[in-house]
Every structure is written in C-alpha cells, then in structure tokens.
Structure 1
Amino acid sequence: MFSFPDVNQVIFLEGHYSIPIVILSLLIACLASFTALSMHERMKSNSFFPRYVWLTLASLCMGFGIWSMHFIGMCAYMLPIKMEYNKLLTMLSVLPAMIASFLAFYTSSLPKQSMKTYSISGIMMGLGISSMHYIGMKAMMMDAEYVYHFGYFILSIFIAITVSFASLYIFGRLHVYMVNFFYKCMAAILMGSAIASMHYTGMHAVKYYIASTVNIDEKHFHQMNMTFFSTVVAAGIIMMLISAIISSIMDRYVDYRLNYFDALTKLPNRRQFEKTLKINSFSKRLAILHLHEMEKWNSMYGYSFGDKVIQYISLLCERLKPIGVELYRIEGNRIVFIGNKESWKELLVELRNISTILSNPIAINEQLVIVKTAIAISEFCEKNNGKTMYDQALAVLSHPSTVYEHTIIAFDPAVHFQSVEYQVLQDIDAAMAENDLYIVYQPKIAVCNEKMVGVEALLRWNHPIYGFLSPGIFIPELEKNGKMMDVTDWVVNEVCKQIIAWKEAGMEMQVSVNIPGPYVTSSRLLSVLKQSIQYYGIKPELLELEMTETSAVSNIEGAIQSVEKFRSCGFSVALDDFGTGVSSLSYLKRLPVTTLKIDKSFVDGVPESQKDSEIMKAIISLGHSLELNIVIEGVESKEQVDFLTSISGCEMIQGYYYAKPMKAEDLEGWVRCKEVEMQNV
C-alpha cells in the first residue's frame, strides 16, 4: 500500500483536474453539511418529531454528502486510462460515513458538552470521512496500479479529524446563533471544507503507475465516464436539501399549531390570546362566552360527549361571527370574541342569536341537551387596555348576580368591581384561616447545570364565590386598604413552616418572598422576620426578600437603610422587576441588594430582536460587574434559554419553560422527576 515500485520498471501517470467539477464537488459537500446541520439544529430544539428522526436524517444526509463529494471529485480527476467501479464496494463505502456522522452528531448533541465530547465527535467524523474515501478508492477498477504516499495519507486523516472537530465545536458552542443564516452557512462551509480537504489531500497521496512496457497516449486524457452518475448524485443532494427545508418548515408549523391553537376546536388558544392582549394599540371590544356546568355533561356521558358539545358550539360561533371578529378558546368552557369598532354592533346581534340557539336543546350523540351559557361583554374606553378588558369580563362572570341562563351582561364598574373589592376585604382574614389563600412555588434553575437552586413563593386565592382570583385583582386592593402587611406576615410564617418541612425531607433550599412597597421600610417587618426564623429555627439565608424597583425608588433613603438591616441579619435581598422603574442605574449602586431579577418584558423579545438581546446582555453584564446574583424571569422558550445560557454572568432562570408555579407537594414530585431525568442523561 505504501511501498513504491522500482522507478525503472514502471511509468507514473500524471492526471489533472476539471476545475468546474472540483467546484461542484465542494458545493455538494457544503450543501450536505448545511442540510445536516439544519436537521441537527432541529434535533436539539423542542421539535414535534422525535430527536432520533432528525438525528437519522442528519446522518443520512451527511453520509450521502461525503459519499457524493468523493465520487464527484473522482470524476474531476482525468487520467489516460480506462476506469470503472466495483458497484457493491461503491455502495458499501457510504456506510462508514453515515455511521460516523450518526455517532458524531449524537455525541455532540448530549446535554453536557466538554472538550472531550467534541474531540470524540471530531475523531469519529474524521475517521468516517477518511474510511469512506479510502474504501471508495478501493472500489476503483482500472488498467493501472496505485500506491499511497504515507505522509500525505496520514495528513489527509489528520485534516479530516481536525476540521471536523473545529466545525462541530463551533456549531456546538455557537448553537444559539445557528438560527442566523450567515453563521449556519459559515459552519457548513467549514464542515464542507473538512470533507473536500481530506479528499483532495488523499488524492494527492495516491500515485498511479503502469508497467513500462505498456504504451499509452499521454496526449489523450480519458475523463472518467461518470457524467450521468455525478448528475444523479448532485440532483439527489439538492432534493435532500429541499426535503430538509420543507420538513423543517413543516416541523415549525406543527410546533406553532400545537403551541398556539386548541387541538379540539382548532381555534387560537390562550397563549395566542394573551399575545393579542399585549398589543399596545389594542382598541377592540371583547366578549367571553362561558359554558356553564360542563362538568355535569362530562360526568354523565363521558369526556368525548363534552368534547362534541364544545365542538358544536365552537362551530356555531365560527359560522355566525361577523367578518373581522377573532375567536379564541381560552379555557375548557370559555370562548372569547374580539371585534373592532366596525364589527361590534353586528357581533352583538350574533351573540344574541347564539344565546337564542343554545337556549333550545341541541342534539349530541342522539341526546338532547341544553347547555346553559352567559356572555360577558367588556367595551373599549380611553383608559382600557386588553388586559383590563379581560379582567372586566372575568369580573362579570365571577359576580354573584350573574345568572347562567343564556344572558348577555355588559361590564358595569359600579356593580362588578365595587362588589369584588368589598368582598376581597371582607374575606381575606377567613381566606388565611381556612387556606383559601395559599402559596405556590416556582423553581429557579441554575444555568450551569439546570438544577433547582431555589424557589419564589407566590400568592394564590381560591375564593369560595369568585373562584380563582388573579393576584392582579386582589393584591392591589389589599395594598390600597392596608391589608397586605398582614398577608405578608402570614406568607412569611407559611414559608418558614414549608422550609422546615422541606429540610426534614432533604430538600433544603432558599425561598424568595415578595414584600409590598411600604412594608419594606417598616420596622414591623424586621421584627416579624426575626421572630419567625427564631421560632422555626431556620437560617436567615434561606429567606430572600424581594422588593420591587419602583417601591425602592419611591423611598430610596428608607429602602437603603432597611436593606442594610436585612443584610446585617443574614437575609438576602433581591431587587425585583429591574428595569421597569425609573432612575435604575443611579440608585442600583446605592442599594446593597444581593440579587438582581430582570423583568420578563426584557426577555420576551430575545433572541429574535437584536436590540432586546443587546439590552439583555448589557443588564446582565452590569449586574455581574456589581457582583450581584442574576435571575432572569419569565423565560418561556428553548430559544430564550439557549440565548441566555450563552451570556457570561447569567446565573439563574425562572419561567414556564422549566416549570410553572406549583403547590409544595407538586414541587416535591417535580424535583424527584427532575432528579431521575438528570440521572438518565
């Protein structure tokens, strides 16, 4: 293989390359790499299809690309001899490239990456490229012999491994940026270069020769007759690229449908509804159709029957709604209508028609049923926004005077909100005593290892009349009427009890408690905190006090003194909703807080918005330079997590991507599942 013959007995053949075909081979390698990296990217994201589907497709594409590049590159080399290929060996030569690609992509996609895993991936990919090349060379059948130059032979393998490692390392480390077409192209060109570099170095290593007694026409160079073969291979790669793009688009579309549309009715779901409400220029009207006693139909006839009731009503709403009116299914038994000024009068007419139709029996599975409904209406006024209008409609539905007998009720602030405010103040003491008021806990996840490092305690209220009240409704009322301090004392006591319970169960962790603005500077708070930790015998560092930026700025001198006292007693202090207040930078350096919590409003736009992304980087860098712990709130997507984990100084993430707020017992189950999941990785 490496032994050169006697130069006096042989004639070494010299060939040359067809430049256009060389360029084609390089393009094929880059196209295959781009396609494989795109599929690999889908595998690492939250795709609808299983990750092994994308892993297999990426491996097939990469292996086929390496194989295609080799034989197209061979077509580019012209020798004055006849050459053919052993078909079986030619077909088998693609297997090492595909297997090596599979192993390399699998290794590089593992959750925990290190230089070792990238090195292993690069070695496997490089050996796969080299094996495919030299098996392909072995498949040649011609009227000449060949021998390899040992140095160039080793160099070709070294190049394949080195450039494969570099491309996989860059792709892995800069994965968050691979949504950017330019960066992905650069990675694909680098990987394609690994394939091409190895091939043409390997070709330079081989020397062809014939016996000196054989006569050949040195002027008659025979280009390998594989034009049809190379055309088919090139067409196959292009088709694979198109298929990958289409499958990626389909996958993203499926993800979009699953995330933003209700599977039963095909209507936009609550997530899309909430995005609509956030539009600053929201100037529409809103109505909620509430289906009453749906649980009765589910228990009597089964959930499939209840599903058909909902489908019937959603189709009825779609059929009767005017043009320009949007429908959303936000809960199991609630459908929202959003209309503009022009369509509102027509919508009111159709809502009456819907109520009239539903007041009569409807046939479901040959059963006649009457579904009781109520429709709450909230109309636009100058001070309203989408969220306010939604809260107003909910106040109508939760009001004791609302009758679910196919009624249509418009929000009246004199009736609905005053009643809610009065009832909240009347019932808060009973809610604390009877556990209608309760606490849920949302995990904080460490960026470095995805382990839970603490939780935030959040208030919830299951009111006996109004049902689950939004904190945005009852907390402002309690603060306005001076009851929030009592509730905070109750929260501190409940959290301390829970810390002890978790400690006994082997789950010692820090819990953050939100402190209302005026209470931060009250001497009563410090007294309550000291009494609580002394009574329960817990360490003060297990409690973190969260104060909002706005409340701190409103009384900055008092806030500074209070925070210093909290810190001297061993409590951690977090500045919540950072960036939403005023004069943030001028006061941040004066507040001796331990933690900076970056508000969700800064997260929503990343990484799609370059401006939002740069602002996020700047805030994290600022906090890190001040030696503060950094917590990012409201993280909801894989793309946001990938972007944040790529930023130096980002330490903790909190949001629905990892977990929603849970009751204590649910959190314990979640932690156990998380531990099992981490062990299985």
Structure 2
Amino acid sequence: MAPIRNVVARCMRSLVMKFTLLVGLLLAFATALLVLMENHAARQDLEERLIERAGMLGQILALNVSDDIIDLDEELMTRRVERMIERPDVSEAFITDIRRRVIVQTDTNIAQHASLAADPLIVMALGAGEMRLERRDDTVHVATPVYTSAGRLAGAVYIISPLDELRAAAADTARRHFFLSIFALGLVLPIAAIAIGRAMRPIAQLTEAARQASTKSLDVRIEVKTGDELEVLANAFNRMLARIDANLKRIHRLAYVDMVTELPNRERFRKEVERVARRAVEDNTRGAVLFLDLDRFKRVNDSLGIGEGDRLLEMVARRLRETARACDLANGSEGEPSLVARLGGDEFTLMLPQIDNEADAARIGQQIIGAIRRPFEVSGHQVFLGASVGVAMFPEDGADPETLLRHADLAMAHAKRSGGNAVQFFEPSMNQSAFERLVLENELREAVKEDQLVVFYQPKICIETGEVRGAEALVRWLHPTAGLLSPGAFIGAAEECGLIGEIGDWVMKASCKQAAEWARQGMNVPIAVNVSAMQFERESFALSVMETLEQCGLDPHLLEIELTESIAMKDPERVIEQVQPLRDRGVSFAIDDFGTGHSSLSYLTRMPFDVFKIDQSFVRGVAEDKHARIVVETILAMAKALKLKTVAEGVETAEQLALLREEGATLAQGFLFSRPIPADEFEAFMNQPMGARRTA
C-alpha cells in the first residue's frame, strides 16, 4: 500500500494530474448522467413497444377465435391458445364468454382462471367493448373483446405478457454504455492531459521564474502569448519582478550608499575592508585604512546652512575620489582600486587595498590634505577647510574592520589634537591613552554627581595700592585617589564628553554662593568666572545667570564673566545680544587671553566689555622679549583709549610688575601674589596687612 500511496501523493503534487483527474471525474459524471437519461428513455420506449405488442397479440388472438366462440369449437380454441403461449412474450392466455365464464384455459389451475375472469380488465373490456391493458409489476395484462363477423360481442381473450425482455435489454444497454464510457475516457483523458499540460505550461514558467527570483535573479522575464488570464498573470508577474528589482536596488542603495555624497557608506566600507583584510592575511600583503576628519567644517556648516554644507561635502567627496583615482593610476591599473567612503558628518575614510610601506600611505594622506586645503567655491564664497588624517595598516594594526576603523580614528584624533592638517599613524600606546581617556570621562561624570569638584580663588591685586580688587574662580577636582587635579588634567576630557557646560554651571553657582557669603561678612570681592563656549551659546544663558544671582542673593556688580577672545569673535553680533542684558543689570564682562585671537577692531569698539585680560604668554616675556612688551604696551594703550580696565595674568616677578605699573596696567594676578587657593585661605589672604601685599 505504501508504494501506491507514494504514487498517489506524487500525482497529487502535479497540477496537470489534478486537472486531468478533475476532467476525468467531470467526464465520468457527465457520461453517467447521459447514460442514465438514455437508458431511461430507451426503457420507456421499449416498454411502450412491448405493451403495444401485447395489445396486438391480444387483438390477433381475439380475431382468430371470433368464429370459434360462435361454433363452440373448444379444441380449435385450445390449439390457438397453446400456440399463443408458446411465444416467449406470452406467459398466460385464456378465453371467456360474454358472461365471463372461462371457455378455454391453458393451465389446470381453474381457480386462478376464475379469479382472472373476474379481473376488472375483463369487466371493463366486456363492458366498454374495447381493449383494456395494464402493467402489473413485470408483466402486461391485456383483455380484448371478441366480436363475431356480424359484429356481435361474443366474449373476451385475456393474455399476460412478461417484461423479461425489458430487463435483458436494459442490462445489455447498460453493459454496452459502460464499455463505451471506459473506452471514451481512456481515449479522452490522455488527450485532456496533453492539452492541460500545454495550457499549464505558462504556470511552469511562472514557477521557474519565481524560483530564480528567490535566488535574487530578478532580471528574468516570462513570455506568455496565450491571450487569456495566464498572459495577464505573466504580465503582472513581470511588472512585480521589475518593481521588486527596482525596490531592492533602491534598498541596496539606501543601505550601502551615502545619499549626500554618493559615496559608499559605513556598512559598505566595513564589508569591503573585511573582505580585503582577510585576503591580505591569506596572501601576506599589506593595506591601509585612512580616517579623515574635516577641520572647521562645523563652523562653515553653521554659517552657510545645511544645504550649502551638503554641497560642500559633495565637493570634498569629489576631490577625495579624484585623489584616490590618481593614486591608483600612479600605482598601475592592476589590482583592486581604492575605496572612498563617508562614515557620517564630516568623517571620510579611504581604503588602500595594496600598499608597500607606511611612506606611501603618508604620501597619499598628505595628498588628501593638500586637496582639501585648496579653497572651495560655495555660493560665491571661498571656503577653506583643513583635514586630520589617521592611518591604520592592516594586518598589523588589525585584521577586522571594527579594529581598523577604531585605530585609524584614534590616530586621527591624535592628529587633530596636535593642531590638525597632519597625518598620524596608529600606535599601540594610543589604545592605552584612549582607555585612560574613557576612564577619566567616566570618573569625571561621577565627580560631578558626587560633588568632588571644588573652587579655588586667585586674588586680583591693584598694582598701585596692593589692595585685593577681586578674585578669579578656578575649578579643581579633588580626585578620590589621585588627589587634587588642576583644570588642565580634565577640562579637555570634559569638553569632549559634553560635561563642560554642566561643570561651568556648577562653578558659576558655587562661586556666586561664596561671593554672597563674603559679602554678608563685609568682604565685597568681585568674582570672575570663566564661561565655556557651550554655556555661552545657549539661548537661555543670560536668563540662567540672572536666576543664579537671585538664588544666591549676590549683587550683580560683584560678578564678572570672562569670555575668551575666540568666543567673543566667533559671532560678535550674538555676543552683543547675550552680554548687554546682563551688563544692564550690573554684571561686568572681560575678554580673557586677549591678544591670542583674531579680534576685529571694528567690532572691538562696539563690544560691551569692561576688562581686557592680557594673556600670561605676553606678561611672562615682557621683561626679556621686546615684541611681547610691544604687544602689552599696545593692549594697555588700547584699553586706556577705550576706558577699560586691564588684568595682567601670570605675574611672577617684581620686574614684570614694575614694567606693568610703568605702562599703566590696572590689576595683576599671578604667583607673585598668590596661587589659586581655597575659600578659607583666600579669607586669610584678605586679612593680611595691605603693606605686605604692597611690598610684594
């Protein structure tokens, strides 16, 4: 049975076989229905003919015995009846007179004939003078009146005709129709199977096309010219495949192509690096991954807008492709070409599949920097960018894309911290440095949460009188294990991880609280607080400062905010908008590190500042370096003309102090007077005799 079930199951998996069987069943059903209808009609026709024949036999017998009844010739009538029943289609016959008495019978069962003589058919036939017949079960009963030659009713004949011939004819017909049906099905089904197979051939094409499409061969097309629904289905299938192909290409493009520059994106670059690096390990060859970050792009993007920034990125991408192509041509057409990609933002990468040594990678990196440093023409403006390039060689610096990109990124960050526009190769020590940087950032976050930061204060001394005229608030980190750390140890990390704004807010609040406490003690000490670019660029900067002053209860005249010259000159108009509301309340402003940036004199005369802080790099060289002294003299003359105060930072010697006093400097701060000290030590410093400070 199992083989039969397998064959049946295999056949049922074929659509042609299913349709053929369906056609066979329909044909069998139709044939059976037609045979039944035909058999029924034939049976009725035969039955009518047999009944008609029985009537004719009864009439013949009646005619033959009409004279015999008159003559009462029983012997002759008996012979006639016997000859009648010798026929296969007559089973019984007898003759009655007009009074329905049996005259002649063929059977000795007289009682039976007596009952038949009383049969309603005899009664009706004699009463009406007409033949009467009736089918009873499988026999036909016929009663025919007998008339003499003179036309007088003399009696009746009664015959019974069996319908055995009807059953035999029906069985014979059924057998004939059955064999004819089998023959027809045997002839028609193979033809139907062939016709169905041909008609279903487009479905096989659709199935094959679907199979190929499942293997990503979406360029297959189906040619069906049947003019029916299958052709419509094939055309719809072709349109579907074309649309899926287009969508997959679009998805692939979205997944692997950067939409701004049309360069490969991070995912595509990662896959290519993985493939090439694996091959380099197998073939014992070398390659390089260059990580490029644009310098000053954010400033240009903020100034020109996102749209123009995208156009600038397109230009950068074009130059990188041209540079990579030139390097490929210089190295010959053999081998795999270089691959340029954009990772995101202003970060680009370049993969060099085959390179002989670090010198070649450095040369290509310098060519990239040179290409980027050429001016770009954007919206009628010349834009200048820089580039920092980090290089990781494979397989020695890593054999997988994640490691290579991370190492190249670390090298790029090192190049950027070193001033930018340089090529830096990855070194193993950078990993340790990056790890230490990460640990430092995490510890710094904890320091802000756990109040490990403290504020030190460095006095500002009046050069003429020696009085303390204020203090600069400087943050320190009281590290749990490393002890007291100066800003240089953690401010850079705070800027990179985005904590500088939070730290600046904390220093502002702590300094204002301390200054308010001193004011309640009778010491009105103006506090100078440095503000980072992140703090100052907030829209709510002025409002947050006023809220801090109100919360701490500090007179605004006792707060001085220091901005570096680079912050002040980045967007002078916005600086004026941010500074003026606070100055109107009494807060003073100072330009820190003045002389180290690129101030515009036209803006400088409009800036709402109160103090110039001369950078310590000029103060330290004022006694030995005539150029430094000229810068200091110029700043002091400018401040005097603008009626601004000046603070000289980094005063360490009496000679420096004397020269500053001679040039008219207002205030000084530095180690000559005091290092930055905690609040309690600052109070003690304030209580020192003024003569001691004046002597210093």
TM-score (norm 1): 0.38
Higher relative contact order (CA 8 A, sep 6+): 1
TM-score (norm 2): 0.37
